[in-house]
Structure formats: C-alpha cells, structure tokens
Structure 1
Amino acid sequence: MKSFTKKSLIPLCMAAVMTLSACGTNAGQPAAEGSGKDAAQPAAGSKAQEPVKVVWWHSMSGELGKAVDKLVADFNASQSNVTVEAVFQGTYDESLNKMKASMDSKSGPTLIQVYEVGSRFMIDSKAITPIQKFIDQDKYDLSQLEENILNYYKIDGKLNAMPFNTSNPILYYNKDMFKAAGLDPEKPPVTFDDVAQAAKALTKDGKTGASFAIYGWLMEQFFANQGADLLNNSNGRKGIATESLVNGEAGVKTLTWWKQLVDDKVALNLGRKTDDTKKAFLAGQIGMTLDSTGSLRGIVDGAQGKFEVGTAFLPKPADAKDGGVIVGGASLYVLNNRSEAEQQGAWQFIKFLAEPKQQAYWHVNTGYFPITKKAYDEPTVKENLTKYPQLKTAVEQLHATKANTATQGAVMGVFPEARQLTETAIEEVLNGKKQPKEALDAAAKEITSKLAAYNKTVAP
C-alpha cells in the first residue's frame, strides 16, 4: 500500500545501526517515558505490581490512527499487567530512522510498525527478537492466521514479525462506463489483452479507458502475478539477493503492454501519485485503475451516487505461470534492547491484536485484511461484506494466490531505492525516452550495484 514517502533507508548506514554512531541523532525527538532504565522495574516508592509499560511506535494517521487508539484502549482495559502507549512517529521511513537514532540510549519503543519493504533491513539490523521465539515459547497456533499473509514475513521458515495492516492491489472499474460501452459489467477483464480491449471500448466521449499510477509496488505485483521472482536467490529468500531481475521477461512484457496502452491513447499517464489516478477514476474520467484494497472503502464511498464500482483480480498475461499477489502494508517487530518483561508484554498485545474480534474491528474500520481466518465469522465483518461486496474480490484473490517465492515477495535492504529506480524506468518508457528492455536493464544494473554496496555493510 502506498502509505509512505519514498525516502532512502540509507543502506550504507547499516553499520551504524549496529554502532549507531554514524546515523546521527534526532535532537527534536522526545525520549519515551522510562528511557535509560529498565521500564519494567518499578521506581522507588511505587507499587510492586505496577504494570509493564510497552511503547508502540506506529505510522497510522487520521482515521487509521483513531482505530489504533481504540485497539490500544481496549487492550489496556482488558487486563492490568501491561499498559501499551501508542505513539505516532510519522511516515514509515521517519519512524524507522528515529528507531535507529534511539537504540544506544534505549529511548526507543518496545514495539514498532515497519512497512513490508523494511523486512530485510530489520533482520540485518540485529535489533529485533524474532516473533518466532514467542510463538515457540507459547506454542502459539499459527494455523489460525492467513498463510498467504504470514508467508511474506517468514525467512527460512521462521516468522520475524507479526503482520498487522495488510493489503494487495486489485483492478477497479466503472460499471456504468462498461454498460455504456457495450461491455458486460459482470465480466471484468482478466488478462492484459482483455484490459487493452476494454480500454479501447471505454475510450470515447472525452473519457479514457484506464490509468495506472507509476508505482514500483505495482510492478512487483505484476511479477508475482506471473510467478516470476524480482531478485535472484529465490527473491532473496534462499540466500542474500545479489542481483535485480526487474529486466526479466515478466518486467519487459508488463512494461511493453503498459506502453502500448498509452501509445494507443486508451490509457492516460498521470504520473506517480496514486491519488491522481484515484481522483480521475472517481471523476469518471477513466474507466479502470489499479489501487490497494486498503483504498476500497474510500473509492466505493467516493463513487456513491455517481456510478457503481466493480472490482477484479490484478490482470496478467494469458500465458502467465502460477502466481498471485504479494501482501503490502506493515508488520510489528519486537526490539531486543528492551527488558524481557517489556518484550513479553508486547507479545501479549500482539496476540490480543490477532484475535478475531480485534481483527474484525480493524478490517471494518480500515479496509485492511483480517490476518485471522475466524474474523470473517464475526457479525460486523459479514455486515461489512454485505455493504461492500467488492471486498470479496480482495479476499478471493488472496486465497487464490499460489504460495511460492514469487508471491512471498522479494526481500532486500535497498527496497525503497529499488522502487524509485523502477518507477524512473517506467516513467522513461511511458514518456517515450527509452524502450522497455533498455530502461529496465539500466534499472536492474543500478539496483544490483546498490545491493552490492548494502551487502558489504552487513557481511558477517
């Protein structure tokens, strides 16, 4: 999901995550309460049974932030042993950089929300206690959770973080425009060719068939949907990734199709911002777009009274191999520089969040997937699916995804930079400056170079 700014994770500062002398400090960042001492130990004169305090840094603002606050309040009211304090820390990048700066002084959190492309970095930082440790100690039953969500966060079969906010991309289309163009609104396009044919039929009367934001996440999803790895060494999951494969057949095929849509004037190039394509879709200017499932409620509500929104699986080439979609969003990491009591308190909170009731609340109020299967049995979720039947597409797409290294998703320490380079390549092609293979070759070379530089900083 595009909920972060595309800033660098500063891979060459990796060594400084270990020593934390080169990354600098954030003088404007207030220290968390209890910093510099074991927060699990009561201060002199306090009650012996004072609850353990767990500070949780997150990046959920607006309505999402309100939902976070409600979950925290419910947890704190449900028991007396642990008190969670949720602290908004800005974007994912901003929060992660603050974490780096806090580690020496222990002024950082016990628990932190990190976006999915920060996964390799968090492991390499040596700053976390893998969630697998708590799972094994507790004999926690992972079978109650969605396998295709868990798979992203597993490396070597072990879970490093607990999924929290999860989404994937779907095709949104204007059913009214489909009817007006003589297309069956109940039969959305499935393949790249289907999209091209539908876009051609929809382009008339000053309206255009489609527009897709220039977003690296979408290219990653197109790879997965074709069963193709984005990186060598099985997407960096059977060894550290050393080479970008973005210039492979899946990438060239996708970008050639995308470029043809623009050249045929049946798709608009509206740039990198997903908000711009979303606005064009809601204004009835385009008939189809791609966006996160996390945007579904906003899109459906925004179209209310204007047109009916249809949803479909992410399109793929007719000859694509088995694949599906990769989860986007973020997960929760427990930091290992906090006391054992705090870490255990964080685990209790994580388990609470994963319960069906909490997952149902989170899903209904945010649009993110429940990570717990039984959440779909909750009355509120059933009511929500009745109100927003388009959500069924997202759930069915998740469940139809074939588990393999392509759909697990790539892991690398330079992911944000890689996305920017991929977006530059897409931009160059759509603007007619380069051919698809040429642009993707250049991106792959630069990403591979950045991988080499990063890997040197984390070499044992």
Structure 2
Amino acid sequence: MTRNWLLGAASTIAVIALTAAPAMAQTKFEFWYGLSGDLSDRIQDMCKTFNESQADYEIVCVSQDTYDNNLQNTIAAYRANKQPTVSQIFDAGTLDLMLSGAYLPIGQLMTDNGYDIDWSNYFSGIASYYSTSKGELLSMPFNSSTAVMYYNTDALKAAGVETLPATWTEFEDAARKLKAAGYDCPVAFDPSASWQWFEQFSASHNQPIATKDNGFGGLDAEMVVSKGKFVDQLTWMKKMYDEGLFVLKSKDTGETANDAFTSAKCQITTSSIADHGTFGKKAVDGMHWDVSMMPMMEGVERHNTFVGGASLWTLKGKSEAEYKGAAAFYNFLATPKQVEWWSTVTGYIPVTNTGFQAMKDKGFYDAAPYKGREIAITSLTEPAGDYTRGIRLGGFASIRAEMVKTMQDVMFNNTPVPTALEAFDAKGNDMLRRFQATYKNAPLP
C-alpha cells in the first residue's frame, strides 16, 4: 500500500501561528508562501488588494521565509490537520505534491466554483511543469521565472567590454578585463544558487540530469550528471574561482551576491528575472546595468531554460466556503490587471500568452525600468530539447541541496570534479530509491 508522505510521523517543525486580519469578511482562509524581503512585501500588497476588492472572503497571507521552509511547514501542518487552504510550492517540490494526494486539482476547483479558465493560454513550458502526462494542470502557475545574467554596464565599458557576453568564453574574457581594470570582484558567485549555475545550464545545453526524461518517464530514473557537459562546466567554474574572477558572496559571508551587485562591489551576477524589480530599487545612484540570457558553451545550440519559481496548490481538508475563497483568489490572480501589476512590481514573467502580448503591445518592455525583462520569455521559449521539459524527480529539494554541497566541495575543498559529481550521482540515486520505495508501484500522474 502506498504511504502518503504527508501522513507520516509527527514533524518537529512548528506550525506557524497566524494573526487575525480584518473582521468583516465572511470567510477567512490562509495562504502560505516562501518568499521574503521585497517580494514578500509585494505579496502582502496583493493580498490586501484582493481583500479590498470584495466583501465575501478574507485571505490571510503568511511568509514562511523560504521555499524549503514553506514546503516543510506545509507538510507539518497537513499532518496536524492545520494546513492552509493555499500553499506556494516551489518547482523542486512539484512531484512530492503530485504523489501526495493531498490537493484538489486546480481545474476541478475552478470548474466546481463556476470559473471558466482557458488553461491553453498559459505558456506551455510553464503549464507542462505542473501538469500530468495527459496535460491536466494540477496547480495554479503563480510566480514564474528563469535565471538570467546581470551586468554593470558602466564597469564593462570602463574595462573595454562593448557587448554583453553570449558565450562562456566571452564571459571569461569580460571577467578578466574587469579584473585587469582594477575591479576586485568581477563576478559575484553564490553556490547556494545551484539552480542557476547547474540546472539552467543543463537545460539550455540540453543535458540530462537524470534518465527517464529527467524523471518524467518514471520513478526509476537515475542521476547522470557525472556523464555530461557539466563536468567541463564545473571544472571551468573552479578555475574562475581559483583565479579570483568568481568571488564568493552569499548569506554565509554576510553579503549576498545580489547585494554585492547592486552596491557595485561586484560587476556581474546571476539571479532570477524576478529580482529585476528589486535590483532597480536597490542599485546605487547612477549605476547602469543590463540583463541577458545565460551564456552558452561555444558551438552548442541553445535550448529553452527551465521555468523556476512556484505554483499554488489547494490542499484537501478545508471547507467548501474556503475553497470558494481560494477559487475567487485564483480568478483574481488571472485578471489582466493583476497579471500586469505582479510582473511590474517584481520581475516575474506574465504566465499567459495574452498577458505577455498585452504588456508588449503597451510598450511595457521598451524602456527602463522594465526593459530587459522580456529576455526571460525569450529564454523560456527557445527551441525545446530532449531534456528541457523540466525535472520531475522525487525529493528534488534534497537533491538540489546536495548539488550545493557538491559545488562547495569542488570550489572550496579542492575535491576533483569527476569524484565530486560521481558522488553526487550516487547520493542522488539513494534519495531517488528511497522516494521510489515510499511510492512503490505508484504511476506518475
């Protein structure tokens, strides 16, 4: 008998206590999310707008600070029958939710509550990540993004770099020129952002992370990272770090890569397109910067990158009134006005074709501070490859964390790249086999 991962032994993770919001609403329901800082502030603005837009429902929105925290806290809450109605689950937790049986499919929820949503309007690369093999969308696409490269164009110009790098060879040349021009930190590097340096590299270069179409073909997939192009890429990254072209910047150092970039201490960084709005607010006065797709290896055809971010899952065990509130909230999120507002104040891409086209027709992407955000759409809609649909591996949040450790071992502990990646594959396979055993004989949705 299949064991539901949400119904295991009691978790040691505390369920977050929620504070009361305005008392006039007829039905209150909870929304937990995994964003902090400026992005959390924008979600609070969004929730306030929803509450003020109607009198039937009151949404209580609570940050769990990080995606990982929110996933674990949602699990703990479900086990204790104290789950929110809506939870934002990041890309790495998608398969965990799909097999949990702890949710109501988004299509069913909206139909049952009288809403007619054109699901085909959602970008295919986004919808397929959260859909079954038959194309049934299970969760509501919400904050979608992909990794991009940010450049201080003033520094590039001073160093003699005229155009943004399109290849890793050009990227290295730009970093060397920055170093020679007296910039102590050419590239801010954060190994905890392995999804940017590893996963997006694998997608754009059409490299498998695991067999079975990166897990879409079954729970018996196996890791194959040590056999692909990332071996050479990580070797190159180690060289860049040893030569001082990559400089460690992370929460552990007291200054994140993003902060090092916006303060102009570091001249290049990689981050989510969702940070585009934050960078515009935080960049030091007079700093000019630009954004581009992630570079490519020389001579390799570019493919689409993976969609990052998260979707909204509706959890079982709540009242019909709360589900009506959730459906109303989802419908609110899907309105053109809200789609444009969300993309404007964050940097997350509009998730529908019509939303993107409407913003493009209005000239949204023609000038600062929004110019450049369309790069993410381009990156996500490059030609598809055999391994660019996404990653559907059980417990992928833990596998992703293992890649962070692997990159750290190579960069900081001088572990040979082949040794490190072979160990990563082995540990990843152990995690996959445990997940497979938990859901023995369970077919993928």
Q: Which TM-score tier does this pair reach, normalised by the shorter chain?
A: 0.7 to 0.9
Per-residue Cα deviation, 1:27-46 (whole angstroms, up to 9, x for no partner)? x644899xxxxxxxxxxxxx
Alignment check: 8 A CA contact 1:425 1:443 kept: yes
Shift in Å at residue 384 of structure 1? 7.2
Corresponding residue for 2:149?
171
Is the CA contact 1:32–1:109 (under 8 Å) kept in the aligned structure 2? no
Distance 1:355 1:123 in 2: 26
What CA distance in whole angstroms lies between the structure 2 residues aligned with 1:281 and 1:31? 35
Call closer, same or farther: CA 1:239–1:139 in 2, change over 3 Å: farther
What is the DSSP-based 3-state SS (H/G/I as helix, E as strand, rest coil) of the residue aligned with 1:431? helix
Cα offset, 1:357, TM superposition:
0.5
2:49 matches 1:74: yes
TM-superposed deviation, 1:16? 6.3
Greater Cα offset, 230-239 or 258-267 = 258-267
**Structure 1 residue 220 displacement after superposition:** 0.7
1:338 and 2:318 are equivalent in the alignment: yes
Aligned partners of 2:392, 2:40: CA distance in 1, in Å? 27
Q: How does 1:3-18 map to 2 (within 5 A)?
A: 15=3, 17-18=5-6
1:295 matched to which residue of 2?
A: 275
Equivalent-residue separation in structure 2 for 1:158 and 1:273 (angstroms): 41
| 1:61-140 equivalence runs, <5 A | 61-103=36-78, 106-134=81-109, 138-140=115-117
SS of the residue aligned with 1:386?
coil
Give matches, 1:121-200, under 5 Å: 121-134=96-109, 138-156=115-133, 157-184=135-162, 187-200=163-176
Using the size of structure 1 for normalisation, the TM-score is 0.83
Is the 8 Å Cα contact of residues 276 and 373 (structure 2) preserved in structure 1? no
Q: Is residue 252 from structure 1 mapped to residue 231 from structure 2 by the alignment?
A: yes
Evaluate the alpha carbon distance shift between residue 111 and residue 61 of structure 1 in structure 2; reply closer, same or farther with a 3 A threshold: same
Q: Distance in 2 between matches of 1:408 and 1:135?
A: 26
The answer to which of 223-232 and 73-82 deviates more is 73-82
Matched, 1:355 2:335: yes
Indicate the SS of the match to 2:267.
Answer: strand
Ranges in structure 2 where 5+ consecutive residues have no aligned partner: none
Contact map agreement 1:111 1:346 (CA 8 A) in 2: yes
Aligned to 2:299: 319
Partner deviation per Cα, 1:189-233 (whole Å, 9 max, x = no partner): 111111112222221243143233212212111101101221221
CA distance in 1, matches of 2:303, 2:252: 26
Q: TM-score, normalised by structure 2?
A: 0.86
CA drift of 1:270 comes to 4.0
Per-residue deviation, 1:24? 5.4
Amino acid at match of 1:426: M
Deviation string 1:218-270 (CA, Å, 9 cap, x unpaired) is 21111011012212211111212531122231221221221232344433344
Identity of aligned residues (%): 26
Q: Spell out, residue by residue over 1:248-305, the C-alpha distance to the aligned partner (whole angstroms, 9 max, x if none).
A: 3122122122123234443334467695323333344433221111222232343343
- Of stretches 171-180 and 396-405 in structure 1, the one that deviates more from structure 2 is 396-405
Distance across 2 between alignment mates of 1:237 and 1:83: 38
C-alpha distance in 2 between matches for 1:80 and 1:379: 33
**Structure 1 residues 452 and 353, CA gap change in structure 2 (3 angstroms):** same
Letter in 1 for 2:49: D
The residue number in structure 2 matching 1:41 is none
- Of 393, 407, 423, 1:426 maps to 407
Partner of 1:387: 368
Residues 83 and 177 of structure 1, relative CA distance in 2, 3 Å threshold: closer
Residue by residue over 1:320-372, the C-alpha shift from the partner in whole angstroms, topping out at 9 and shown as x without a partner, is: 34422212211100112223443343123112102110111111122222223
Instruction: Classify the secondary structure of the residue corresponding to 2:208.
Output: coil
Q: Secondary structure at the match of 2:428?
A: helix
Structure 1 match to 2:308: 328
Distance (whole Å) between structure 1 residues aligned to residue 385 and residue 344 of structure 2: 29
Deviates more, 1:162-171 or 1:56-65: 56-65
Q: Do the aligned partners of residues 73 and 286 (structure 1) sit closer, same or farther apart at CA in structure 2, a change above 3 Å counting?
A: closer
| Paired residue type of 1:189 | P
Q: Is the 8 A contact 2:13 2:72 kept in 1?
A: no
Letter in 1 for 2:11: C
Report the CA distance shift for 1:55/1:120 in structure 2 as closer, same or farther (over 3 A): same
Number of aligned residues: 429
Of 61-70 and 321-330, deviating more is 61-70
Hey, what's the Cα distance between the residues in 2 that align with 1:105 and 1:445?
34
Contact 1:225 1:320 (8 Å CA) reproduced: no
Per the TM alignment, residue 404 of structure 1 is displaced from its structure 2 partner at its CA by 4.5
Q: Output the CA distance in 1 between the equivalents of 2:401 and 2:79.
A: 31
Residue 395 of structure 2 corresponds to which residue in structure 1? Answer: 414
Structure 2 contact 344–370 (Cα < 8 Å) conserved: no
Counterparts of 1:394 and 1:173, CA distance in 2: 14
Structure 1 window deviating more from structure 2 (390-399 vs 310-319): it is: 390-399
**Once the two structures are superposed, what CA deviation does each residue of 1:131-177 show, in whole Å capped at 9, x if it has no partner?**
23346665521233222222322231221211111221111112122
Structure 2 CA distance for aligned equivalents of residues 297 and 32 of structure 1: 29
| CA distance, structure 1, for counterparts of residue 57 and residue 263 of structure 2 | 48
Shifted more, 124-133 versus 391-400: the winner is: 391-400
**Corresponding position of 1:45:** none
In 1, the alpha carbon distance for the partners of 2:360 and 2:370 equals 15
Distance 1:23 1:16 in 2: 14
Asked whether the 8 Å contact 1:192–1:257 carries over to 2, the reply is: no
CA distance, structure 2, for counterparts of residue 331 and residue 412 of structure 1: 17
- Which whole-Å CA distance do the structure 2 matches of 1:244 and 1:321 have between them? 23
Match of 1:230 in 2: 209
Answer yes or no: is the 8 Å Cα contact 1:247–1:440 preserved in 2. yes
The answer to whether the 8 A contact 1:148-1:403 is kept is no
Q: Partner of 1:406: helix, strand, or coil?
A: coil
Determine if contact 1:16/1:22 at 8 Å carries over to the other structure: no
Two-structure CA RMSD over aligned residues (Å): 3.0
* CA distance 1:321–1:247, change in 2 (3 Å): farther
- Cα–Cα, structure 1 residues 321 and 241, in superposed 2: closer, same or farther, change >3 Å? farther
Letter in 2 for 1:182: G
User: Could you tell me which amino acid in structure 1 is paired with residue 204 of structure 2?
Assistant: N
